[in-house]
Amino acid sequence: MITFDDVVKVYPGGGTAVDHLSLELPTGRTTVLVGPSGCGKTTSLRMINRMISPTSGRVLIDGQDVAGEDEALLRRRIGYVIQHAGLFPHRTVLDNVATVPMLLGRTRRQARTDALGLLERVGLSADFAKRYPAQLSGGQQQRVGVARALAADPPIMVMDEPFSAVDPIVREGLHREFLRLQQDLGKTIAMVTHDIDEAIKLGDVVAIFRQGGVLAQVGTPRELLEQPADEFVAEFVGRDRGLRSLSFDTAAGLPVRPVSEAPDLLLDDAGRPAGWRTGGGAAGTFTSADSLRLVTDLTITSPAGMAVRVGPDGKAEGVVSHHDIADHLVRRRETK
Ligand SMILES: Nc1ncnc2c1ncn2[C@@H]1O[C@H](COP(=O)(O)OP(=O)(O)OP(=O)(O)O)[C@@H](O)[C@H]1O
């Protein structure tokens, strides 16, 4: 666990960048620091690997104050990923990834074999290994940056806006890969972004900062969407937070009507939804494991105003309309 214990940072000649920050970043999880520009996110992040020292207070890793640790040893345990990847321009992709393990004493051969494995993990084939950073797209460079930070197999990763320099479609892909990798690796990750959607998507824990380096609220994405502490947080997470919070609920508790209540629904011989009699198009289907947000979306886009729940065999089990979802949400709120 990484702990900020009443940390203050005042830059000489500047104002207070971080104001009495107390925060815990749980081991093996991703904590995202998010907030408007200049609110002290990067300053906080860099106090973890001692690129910046607190004016007062302590940053602890598993109970040990980082101020008392050997800087080189500390940074070896902490992978660092920055915007634009920060790759060595005159080294090949393979050498960019293999350099740190070689510095740590691995043989050149072993380091290069490991580097190829890491590149593959982040979605880059061996074809990229011989290229130079300038010969890669922004998204590919960012992947190399992640592979390089992972090369020393550090238990902790600090990532400063790692995905912000790429276009939205590439970012989507990097997000998916990040979540897949993190599910496998379970690193303790501290990530900075100014994008609340990214924070909600990638964070197990999200810490929202406000101007002046003050922590406004910390919680799971769901907690922030459902119970924002104040107006600032509510505004920051977005006015559509109710709809977005439906991503965290599955359709398991959502009652469905019998299929006979949807006479417009066409079924094939095996009882699987085949489309709608009027309006055309495929019938939107979901399972109990899908999110309420998806089901809501399906009912809105369906010509019949309904979505169809299917079982593991693909057979129609029942239907719901957006009215049914609204009723379900009201009932759920009343019983909470
Ligand atoms: N070296 C420095 N000297 C003086 N002031 C600084 C220094 N670095 C940052 N600051 C100030 O400290 C405050 C916090 O900066 P920081 O970079 O931590 O914010 P941030 O939330 O990461 O911002 P952004 O999202 O724009 O990167 C800002 O007001 C900034 O101007």
Q: Which of 247, 265, 284 is the last residue of a domain?
A: 247
Check whether residue 52 and residue 194 sit in a common domain.
Answer: yes
Q: What is the CATH number of the domain that holds 106?
A: 3.40.50.300
Cβ neighbours of 295 (radius 10 Å): 28
Q: What is the CATH number of the domain that holds 265?
A: 3.10.580.10
Q: What is the pLDDT of residue 240?
A: 83
Check whether residue 68 and residue 119 sit in a common domain.
Answer: yes
pLDDT tens column, 188-208: 999 999 999 899 999 999 999
Q: Any bridge partners for residue 275, and if so which? A: 266
Q: Any bridge partners for residue 159, and if so which? A: 81, 191
Q: What is the pLDDT of residue 214?
A: 96
DSSP H helices, the chain, are: 41-48, 71-76, 93-103, 108-121, 138-150, 168-185, 196-202, 221-226, 231-237, 241-245, 292-301, 322-335
Ligand 1 center to residue 9 CA distance, Å? Answer: 10
Q: Are 330 and 324 in contact (CB under 8 A)?
A: no
Of 23-32, 159-168, 244-253, which range is least confident? 159-168
- Ligand 1 proximity of 9 Cβ (cutoff 6 Å): no
230 by Cβ neighbours in 10 Å (0-12 / 13-18 / 19+) ranks as exposed
Main-chain phi, psi angles of 12, to 5 degrees:
-60, 130
Check whether residue 307 and residue 178 sit in a common domain.
Answer: no
Share of the chain above pLDDT 90, in %: 62
Check whether residue 78 and residue 223 sit in a common domain.
Answer: yes
Check whether residue 260 and residue 185 sit in a common domain.
Answer: no
Cβ neighbours of 271 (radius 10 Å): 15
Check whether residue 273 and residue 236 sit in a common domain.
Answer: no
CA 77, CA 195: separation in Å to the nearest integer?
27
Ligand 1 center to residue 241 CA distance, Å? Answer: 28
Find tokens 């809501």 and name the residue.
296
Domain that holds residue 312: 251-335
Residue 320, classed as helix, strand or coil, is strand
Ligand 1 center to residue 310 CA distance, Å? Answer: 51
27-50 burial, b at 16+ Cβ within 10 Å, e below that, comes to eeebbbbbbeeebbbbbbbbbbbb
pTM value is 0.83
Check whether residue 226 and residue 271 sit in a common domain.
Answer: no
Task: Return mean pLDDT, the chain.
Answer: 91
pLDDT at residue 278 tops 90: no
Check whether residue 255 and residue 129 sit in a common domain.
Answer: no
DSSP H helices, 151-229, are: 168-185, 196-202, 221-226
Check whether residue 281 and residue 242 sit in a common domain.
Answer: no
CA 245, CA 235: separation in Å to the nearest integer?
15
Among protein residues, the one whose CA lies closest to atom 20 of ligand 1: 38
- Ligand 1 proximity of 37 Cβ (cutoff 6 Å): yes
Check whether residue 265 and residue 224 sit in a common domain.
Answer: no
CA 247, CA 138: separation in Å to the nearest integer?
30
Q: What is the pLDDT of residue 279?
A: 77
Ligand 1 center to residue 289 CA distance, Å? Answer: 43
pLDDT tens column, 15-41: 899 999 999 999 999 999 999 999 999
Q: Which of 217, 247, 277 is the last residue of a domain?
A: 247
Check whether residue 42 and residue 174 sit in a common domain.
Answer: yes
pLDDT tens column, 44-65: 999 999 999 999 999 999 999 9
Closest atom of ligand 1 to 35 CA is 21
pLDDT tens column, 65-104: 999 999 988 988 998 888 776 788 899 999 999 887 787 7
Q: What is the pLDDT of residue 219?
A: 97
Say how many domains are in the chain.
2
CA 127, CA 97: separation in Å to the nearest integer?
14
Check whether residue 185 and residue 273 sit in a common domain.
Answer: no
**In which band, very low, low, confident or very high, does the pLDDT at 187 lie, cut at 50, 70 and 90?**
very high
Q: Which of 188, 223, 247 is the last residue of a domain?
A: 247
Q: Which two tokens stand for residue 201?
A: 């998507």
Q: Are 166 and 174 in contact (CB under 8 A)?
A: yes
